[in-house]
Amino acid sequence: MPMIYRLDAPAREVARTFGLDAGNDPWPGGTVSAGGFAPVITMGREFVAGPRPEQRLPRRMIPRLWGVPPPPQGWGQGGDSRRHGILTVRNLDSPFWIGNLRNSEFRCLVPASAFMEWGKADPRDGKRRQCWFGAADQPVFAMAGVWKDSEVPSFALLTAPANAALRSAGRETMPVILPADPAAHDLWLRGDWKRAAQLLAPYSSSLMSLHVAG
């Protein structure tokens, strides 16, 4: 599970990549840590009550906190709630998540340039090094996310089983990286849950880049 990812592009450049208006998003580009704010892209219905209008609202890019406040004791949220809230969603059938996932207005795109996972211990010195994974075919890519409003406007990342590149680093899961196709982005933001859930698959290892720090 990543605790850090990068979005190495300012808000206006991110907005151009995804074909929308950056609005007043102040993001300058840089690193996103668990418990920090980052730009996310929604279908624009956060403040719209009632049935979904026939006319599409423009998508919005707004800052949200990475880490959803955990539910009351006993709920199977299917994520990790230590310190920074719930960063990832693993149990798609959890009562804490299922309502948000089935209602597409609560799904979001989380722009990123790379995410970090700790690799296996190096047999030469016993140290674990930072492995930064990116999408070789997308300088800025979209991870699948879901948002909630409780104490704070927050979001969590959807996960999938690790691909071969992540498994080689000792990981069992990875964030869901959506294809570059705008139709895939639209499906995640607007499609019915049965079809959108088909996007929750490992990204191809052949389309990923890796940089090992240190």
Domain extent for 199: 4-48+57-213
CA dihedral 37, 112, 17, 179 (to 10 degrees): -130
Report, as an integer, the average pLDDT of 6-33.
94
Rounded percentage of the chain residues whose pLDDT exceeds 70: 88
Domain count, the chain: 1
Report CA dihedral (73, 74, 75, 81) to the nearest 10 degrees: 50
Query: What CATH code is carried by the domain that includes residue 194?
Result: 3.90.1680.10
What was the pLDDT predicted at 83?
A: 66
Listed range (25-29, 119-123, 128-132, 139-143) with the worst mean pLDDT: 119-123
pLDDT digits (tens, 9 = 90+) for 50-80: 455 555 678 899 999 999 998 776 444 444 4
Instruction: Specify the pLDDT at position 51.
Output: 52
Average model confidence (pLDDT) across the chain: 89
Q: Is the pLDDT of residue 137 over 90?
A: yes
CA proximity to 143, closest of 92, 104, 116, 179: 179
∠148-152-157 over CA atoms, to 5°?
Answer: 45
- The whole-model pTM stands at 0.90
